[in-house]
Amino acid sequence: MTIYDYSVKAMNGEMKALRDYTGKVLLIVNTATKCAYTPQYEGLQDLYEKYRDDGFEILDFPCDQFAHQSPGSDDEIHAFCRIKYGITFSQFSKINVNGRKEEPLYKYLKSEKKGAIKWNFTKFLVDSEGKVINRFAPADTPEKIEYFVKEALEAKALHEKINKNYSY
């Protein structure tokens, strides 16, 4: 299995197939709007703007499971992120990342890299083949993980070059 086998609920309530992101490097993040780590939205947006043209996407999943730090509706969360941080990357409907109502995507992510989510802004890096290649703690800022994003994008570019040169 890969992340491409999952669909998730978009902010507008419609289901979004993750296979639509095939060939992209993804950073999947559970977020909160009233957390000490919320200012990471600024760094995430910067990272997105810097690498989106290279095939990089950020998938933002608001989560209210940790100290009720993401109150409000999906629309309120999206408006907050857009107005305060200028977010233009993909945001999805609020989810649970742990427990009996956890989002199936997160069950998969956790099975690939280190168990339960302990707090907001846990990040998973997924390569262009849909495989989880790294997990970062909430305190790992976007600036700190940029190196790993660049490495994944370089691997993606090399893979594409090889496929182009050897396709018949």
Alpha helices in the chain (DSSP H): 40-51, 74-85, 104-112, 142-165
Per-residue model confidence as pLDDT tens digits over 127-154: 999 999 999 999 999 999 999 999 999 9
Residues whose CB falls within 8 Å of the CB of residue 74, separated by 6 or more in sequence, listed in order: 11, 62, 93, 94
**CATH number of the domain to which 120 belongs:** 3.40.30.10
Q: Are 74 and 93 in contact (CB under 8 A)?
A: yes
CA distance 167 to 57: 26
Give the count of domains, the chain. 1
Enclosing domain of residue 56: 3-165
CA distance 41 to 69: 14
pTM: 0.95
Q: How far is CA 148 from CA 26, 51, 144, in A?
A: 11, 12, 9
Per-residue confidence in pLDDT tens, the chain, 168 aa: 899 999 999 998 999 999 999 999 999 999 999 999 999 999 999 999 999 999 999 999 999 999 999 999 999 999 999 999 999 999 999 999 999 999 999 999 999 998 899 999 999 999 999 999 999 999 999 999 999 999 999 999 998 888 777 755
Catalytic machinery residues = 35
Residue type, 35: C
Measured at the alpha carbon of residue 81, what is the angle toward residues 75 and 83, in degrees to the nearest 5? 95
Q: List residues bridging with 126 in a β-sheet.
A: 26, 132
